[in-house]
Amino acid sequence: MVNQDMLLLETAYKDMEFSYFVSVLNYSIDDVNIDAFHEFMRPNLINDVCTSERHQKFISKGVSIRYVYSDEKQREFTAITIHPTDCKPTN
């Protein structure tokens, strides 16, 4: 369980990308506004990936972190990838 609304189904690593497969509980793909979901989730994921110690091992080696979201019936509806360049400050 990621939190009360999300369940971690599995993880995978391939081609310099570590993926989390997450089910959004109690929501159908028909209920999800994908644009609003991205708008809310991406900045939060960037903050988490770029500041958490557990992800720094990947980011520092050039590995991207990908979150693949599915609905309560495990139908995938979107993916959000955080690249190491997303963690670098802009000047």
- How is the chain split among helix, strand and coil, in percent rounded to 5? 35, 35, 30
CB-based burial label for 40 (10 Å; 0-12, 13-18, 19+): exposed
> Are the CB atoms for 5 and 26 separated by under 8 Å?
yes
Candidates 25, 28, 32; CA nearest to 2 is 25
pLDDT tens column, 7-40: 999 999 999 999 999 999 888 999 889 999 999 9
pLDDT at 23: 94
Q: Does pTM top 0.85 for this prediction?
A: yes
First vs last Cα of the chain: how many Å apart?
Answer: 38
pLDDT at 26: 86
